[in-house]
Structure formats: structure tokens, C-alpha cells
Amino acid sequence: MNLEGVNPSQKLLGALSRATKHGVMLVSNFADVEFASERAMELLRCRSEKELLERWHQVRPLYERRCADITASPTRALTLDVDLDAGESPLRLRFEMFSLEEDECTGGLLLIKDRRALESADRNLRLASRMETLVQLYRQAAHDLKAPLNAISLHLELLAETIRMLQKGMLPSSEDPREQIDILRSELMRLDRLLISLLGHARPDVSTPDVFSLQEVARRAVDLAEPLAKKRCVELSFDEGKVSRDGFGYADQLHQAILNLIINALEASGSGGRIDVVAREQGDDVILSIRDQGPGIAPALLERIFDLGVTTKKDGSGIGLGVARAIVEAHGGRLEIQSGLGRGTLVEIRCPTSPSDTDRDL
């Protein structure tokens, strides 16, 4: 048995072992150890050839039972997990076994790995993946909260101004602020549901979708964005059209998608611009279009506009469009964008509509 490696192949295996930090062993057709790298000795906690042979005596019966599998699948690596008694701290090793049928080398090639290290790396990878998921979750939540909170703030300013003018007699007593209060209450309740879902790290209960009015969902989004439109001196109009079909799914989510798209259009529009939100039926579907007169999107950027982090705004997050499309597609709908530099942007949502009672199976 050679521990150092006396031929070029064994020296190459030793170098490979040092580079990968995995142990390497060569075993003959008779399951005798012919070569063991320094790393293999470390993993097996052996300081001499005698100790290595004693350790291999523990592994050999398990290895021989797997030899039949190696013969049956000579091109496929087989694994053998072994727990060995080595004093206070047992050895937990993984042997990856390959069949060798070369002129100068026959038998088996064994790669030895520390299972504790593998499990630790796997835990770290899962943790990193979960952390990345949480980062995306909180980024999306922050984005979803930002638009309605800004709109609520503007509504509160408008409500305060209305009350002040009523107190001074500068508005007719028939002017009723309750409509603004209803808008605020409705949006605050929706945000409360969003926060409850976030705190529970849960998605909406997919077993309880419901029928809702698509016009009403779009109208709420338009009403919520109206103060921002006035502040930016942008005319925001909504044509409900003659839509007879209802939506089926999650009204809060679809409301968020439409609000995101309207806010995007407002932020792209300059003073004196106009945004038209129009609902219409097309066959069994409802099309909701949002057209602005902003600067438009360059063709190269339009191809990637739904990718996370891609934005046309200096301080944009690059989340809103991706979230909006995900919501629409989760309902079985489709979101499309047509745009060009100097031509403004048209966003169309092919909204999901209510199936018949026998087809509702979301």
C-alpha cells in the first residue's frame, strides 16, 4: 500500500485531493487499500498505515456489499454513508464509489467526504436561500405599502382641507367628506390584511377565492390615486365601460396590481399629462387598459421591464411591474405593455372573469 503515491496517477490523485479537500483512496478488485491521500488519512483519523488498515477493516464489509451495485452501474457514482466509532467524536463519513477498469488501474476509486461539513454547507445554503426569500418578501411588502400609504397621506391632507373650508363656511354645507373617509377606511382595512399576511409569512387562502366586481376594484384604485394625480397636475380618468362579467379570485391582490400600474403611470407623467383607465369586454374576458402620455420606454429596456430590479425611475425599486404581472397571471390573466420613446405607454390587463358555478375550482 502506498500512502504518498509513487506513480504519476497516484501523485495526480494526491494533488486532486488537496485541491478539493476530499479524501481519495484506491481499492483493488479484492477490496485491499492500494493508495490513500493525506486528506483521506485526516478524515479517517489515521496517523499510520496500521491505523488506516484497522479503520478500513471497519468499512470493508460495507464496501464489499456495495461492490455489486458498482458492477451493475459502472458509470454512476454510488454513495456509502458510514458512522465509525472513533472515541469521543464518532466519524460520520460519505464514500463516493467509482468503478475503475483501466489498463494501469482496476478496482475502485473512493472519494471521502466529511458528512458534518456537507450538512453544515447544506444548512448554510438553505439559510441563505430562506434569507433571500425573506428579503424579496419584505421588499415586495415595502413596495406594496408605499403606494397606498402615500395615497392615504394625500387623502388625509385633502380631508383636512375640506373640513377646514367647511368650518370657515367656504364650502356649501352639502359638501360631505364621508366619501373620502370611506376611501381611507377601505384602504386601511386592506393594508391591515396585508400586514397580517406578512406577519404570518402566509399567502392568501387559496381555498377561498370569491366573486368581485372588476369595475369596483379598478374604481377603488383610481379613487385612491386621484389626490396624487391632482398634486402632479395630471388628469386621471376612468371609463367603466359596459362590463357585465365579474372577477373571481382575490380582489385585494388585483386592486394592488392595478394601483401599482396607475402609480407607475402617474410617476411617468409630466405636469399637464393625462392618464386614461378604460374597462371593456372582449369575448369572455375583460380588458383593463391604462394609457399615459409619459416619455415611454426604450425597446431594449422594454424587453426586460418585468425583471426584478429593472426600472425606468431614478429611485425606483424595479418590483412593481413584476408583482403586478405575478398577481394577474396567478388569476389566469395576462399583462402586456406597449411602449416606445416619445409615445407614452399602454398597459393592458386581461382580467380573469368569474367562471360558471361548475367551473370554479381555484
Triad 27, 32, 36: Cα angle to 5°: 55
Which DSSP helix (H) or strand (E) runs through 306? none
- The DSSP secondary-structure symbol of 311 reads -
Dist CA 287 CA 247 (whole Å): 12
pLDDT computed for residue 279 by the predictor: 92
CA dihedral over 102, 107, 111, 115, signed as positive or negative: positive
pLDDT computed for residue 333 by the predictor: 86
Beta strands in the chain (DSSP E): 23-27, 33-36, 78-84, 91-101, 106-114, 210-212, 235-239, 247-249, 274-282, 285-292, 334-339, 345-351
CATH architecture, range 8-120: 2-Layer Sandwich (3.30)
pLDDT computed for residue 244 by the predictor: 83
Cross-strand pairs, 26: 35, 109
Contacts 24+ apart (CB under 8 A), 268-274: 268/292, 268/294, 268/295, 268/312, 268/313, 268/345, 269/232, 269/234, 269/293, 269/294, 270/234, 270/294, 271/232, 271/233, 271/234, 272/233, 272/234, 273/234, 273/235, 274/234, 274/235, 274/236, 274/237
Taking only the tens of pLDDT, the chain with its 362 residues reads: 655 555 777 778 888 888 888 899 988 888 899 889 999 999 999 999 999 999 999 999 988 887 766 555 555 678 899 998 877 778 899 999 888 765 555 678 899 999 888 887 776 676 566 556 545 656 666 666 777 777 777 778 777 877 777 777 776 655 667 777 777 777 777 776 666 555 544 444 444 677 888 889 999 899 888 888 988 899 999 998 888 888 888 888 888 889 889 988 998 888 899 999 999 988 878 899 999 999 998 888 888 888 766 676 665 556 678 778 888 888 788 999 999 898 899 999 988 676 543 344 44
CATH of 205-362, one of 3.40.50.1100, 3.30.565.10, 3.40.50.300, 3.40.630.10: 3.30.565.10
Dist CA 74 CA 112 (whole Å): 18
Domain residue spans of the chain: 8-120, 205-362
